[in-house]
Amino acid sequence: MKEIRIHGRGGQGCVTASEILAVAAFLDGQNSQAFPSFGSERKGAPIQAFARISDKKIRTRAQILHPDFLIIQDPTLIGVVDLLFGLKEDGLVIVNTAKKPEELGLKTKAKVITVPALEIAVEEIGRPIPNTVMIGAFAGATGLIKIESVEKAVKERFPGELGEKNAKACRKAYNAAKEAK
């Protein structure tokens, strides 16, 4: 079983991102689960969302304490909250930023890669919403879910033109993450 924690701020679509991730894994034929951090979320406050992917039925509903993967939607959280808490040493951190990993000051033995998801979102979707884009990056960086499934999941979630644009942005982030890893 692989466990994923997503960090962002209220209003940035962390929960939607975790849902897209789980749906994509499900479309791949895997078992998956997604859930929010069960809080009273407020716009702008740091929040988390979680996802699990497994080849077996997922029976636990406990919080994820030792994630294999971190997705950081909002780089301004670095230094503000303990993003690396419990991360496995052989884990992977994917950060939405145009900076290089070594510029971020993340003290971890885990591998860190960066993807300019915000810039991709503005370019392709026309809005600064990197949440779904980062799931494309996750697919590229990990190979755990197929990019075709991510595209399908975002098109189902956002019907019409918005879904098409999101899918295109996801593909772009997927390619960027593949190069970065």
Partner 1 sequence: MAIELIEGSLAIAHGAALCRPGVISAYPITPQTHIVEDLAKMVADGQLKTEFVNTESEFGAASVVLGALAGGSRAYTATTSQGLALMLEVLYNCAGMRLPLVMCCANRSLSAPLSIWSDQQDAMLMRDSGFIMGFAEDAQEALDLHIMGYKIAEDERVQLPYMVNVDGFLITHTFEPVNIPDQKLVDEYLGSYKPFQVLDPANPITMGCFTEPAYHMDVRYQMHKANLESTKVIEEVAASFEKKFGRPSGGLIRNYKLDDADTVVVAMGSITGLVEEAVDTLRGKGQKVGLLKIKTLRPFPTDKVREALSGKKHVVVMDRAMSAGYGEILGSEIKAALYGTPNPPAIDSFIYGLGGRDIHEDEIIGMINRPNPGTHRSEWVGLRPDLLEE
Compute the CA torsion angle 46, 144, 130, 87 (nearest 10 deg). Answer: 30
Cα 118-121-127 angle, rounded to 5 deg: 100
Q: Which of residues 150-179 bind partner 1 (CB under 8 A)?
A: none
The residue from 23, 121, 139, 173 that contacts partner 1 (CB under 8 A) is 23
The residue from 42, 44, 45, 63 that contacts partner 1 (CB under 8 A) is 63
The residue from 12, 33, 96, 132 that contacts partner 1 (CB under 8 A) is 33
Which residue lies nearer to partner 1 by CB, 59 or 107?
59
Residue 148 binds partner 1 (CB under 8 A): no
According to DSSP, the β-strands at 46-54 and 31-36 are: antiparallel
Which residue lies nearer to partner 1 by CB, 30 or 166?
30
Q: Rounded to the nearest whole angstrom, what is the least distance from the CB of residue 153 to partner 1 in the complex? A: 9
Q: Rounded to the nearest whole angstrom, what is the least distance from the CB of residue 149 to partner 1 in the complex? A: 11
Q: Residue 177 carries which side chain, given as an amino acid letter?
A: A
Q: Rounded to the nearest whole angstrom, what is the least distance from the CB of residue 132 to partner 1 in the complex? A: 15
Candidates 38, 67, 42, 37; CA nearest to 52 is 67
How many other C-beta atoms are found inside a 10 Å radius of the C-beta of residue 47? 24
**Which residue reads 């895997």 in tokens?**
30
Candidates 162, 135, 161; CA nearest to 148 is 135
Which residue lies nearer to partner 1 by CB, 35 or 162?
35
Specify the DSSP class assigned to residue 171: H
Residue 41 binds partner 1 (CB under 8 A): no
Residue 88 binds partner 1 (CB under 8 A): no
Residue 26 binds partner 1 (CB under 8 A): yes
φ, ψ (nearest 5 deg) of residue 2: -110, 135
Task: Give residues in contact with partner 1 (CB under 8 A).
Answer: 18-19, 22-23, 26, 31-36, 38, 40, 58-63, 65
